[in-house]
Homo-oligomer: A and B are copies of this chain.
Amino acid sequence: MSVLVVGSVAIDTVETPFGRAEQSIGGAALYFSVAASFFTKVRMVGVIGHDFPEPTLDDLRRRGIDLAGLERAEGKTFRWTGRYHEDMNVRDTLHLDLGVFGDFHPRLPEAYRDTQFVFLANIDPVLQSSVLDQLAAPGVIGCDSMNYWIQEKRPELEQLLMRVGILVINDEEAKMLSGEKNVVKAARRILEMGPKSVLVKRGEYGVIQFSGNSVFAVPAFPLEEVFDPTGAGDTFAGGFMGQIARSRDTSEGGIRKAIVYGSVMASFVVEDFSYRRLERLTADEIEQRYRQFVSLTNIEGI
């Protein structure tokens, strides 16, 4: 089954302690789509400007990513320039130009309306809701957000959350959204706001998932070098939703497996700038690292 994603598509310039990559392709919807494309067909909803490279679009299409929902508008593509510190958990935004993304109003092609698996990457919750309004009867709805929307558009976000099944959010955002300092309490509070499942991303410490009667925690894959953390969270979401759409399994076991596939994809994407590592990634490598995750976490020690 196809998975639909709506979110940013960007041209990034990123500096890490390992080097600098100019004009790399980025954005939440981009990372999500490339990761999900290893699992299922993808429908992308977003906006780019006249400056977005045509060869990248060809590449995305070759990956089975449907770009009918990717609007090309007059103006420049969203651009972000960031610099990571020696401690790569900290980054500064050096430059930000929303470009055509500033006026983005997602319009879904008619052919997208039947999509069952949907991921609302981090954009204005009003726009996220408008995407749901354009869908006939979405089955599984995943959603991300960020501190800015939690502070500036809380009522709109809370309305949206009542329609969302799976919230994918980071540690700090979960605490801000819930007003709780403890992650367990934060997740319990968020579960009362609508979602059936909350996935809390904890960066180098992995992911912890809360649902009605279950908690699941998986570490991040221990890497000797994190080259560029940009897009790790969106790549996680892409692997996660891609696997959910591929398996159509939303049981607790199905969600857990999907969380591991998401973690696998995230562990690859940070090994190089932009999504370069995914460009040369194989299905075998994904399965191999999935088995490494099983071994990493198995108490009996296989």
A interface, size bucket: 35 or more
Q: Which of B253, B257, B297 contacts A297 (CB 8 A)?
A: B297
Main secondary structure of the interface of A (DSSP, over half): mixed
Contact with A219, one of B219, B253, B293 (Cβ below 8 angstroms): B219
Verify B260–A299 contact, CB threshold 8 A: yes
Contact of B297 with A218 in the complex, beta carbons under 8 Å: yes
Question: Which A residues have a C-beta under 8 Å from some C-beta of B?
Answer: 86-87, 181-185, 188, 202, 204-206, 208, 214-219, 222-226, 251-257, 260, 293-301
C-alpha spacing A30/B205, complex, angstroms: 30
Residue of B nearest to A257 (CB): B299
Cβ contact within 8 Å between B181 and A86 = yes
Task: Using A182-B224, A183-B204, A256-B300 as known contacts, list a sample of 15 further A-B pairs with CB atoms less than 8 Å apart, ordered by residue number in A.
Answer: A87-B181, A182-B223, A188-B224, A202-B205, A206-B217, A216-B296, A216-B297, A217-B219, A218-B297, A218-B299, A253-B300, A253-B301, A256-B298, A257-B301, A260-B299
Bound form: Cα–Cα A182–B253 in Å: 32
This chain's copy number in the assembly? 2
A184 nearest CB across to chain B (Å): 5
A and B contact pairs by CB, cutoff 8 A, 25 listed:
A86-B181, A182-B224, A183-B204, A184-B223, A185-B224, A205-B205, A206-B219, A214-B295, A216-B297, A216-B298, A216-B301, A217-B297, A218-B219, A218-B297, A219-B219, A251-B301, A252-B301, A253-B301, A255-B301, A256-B298, A256-B299, A257-B299, A260-B299, A293-B299, A297-B299
Task: Report the minimum CB–CB distance from A131 to chain B (whole Å).
Answer: 30
Which residue, of A202, A255, A297, A300, has the highest number of chain B Cβ atoms within 10 A?
A297
* Cβ–Cβ < 8 Å partners of A257 in chain B: 299-301
For A86, A185, A188, which residue has the most chain B Cβ atoms within 10 angstroms? A185
**Chain B, residue nearest A254 (CB):** B301
B contact residues around A225 at 8 Å (CB): 182
A222 touches B184 (CB 8 A): yes
CA distance A253 to B296 in the complex (A): 12
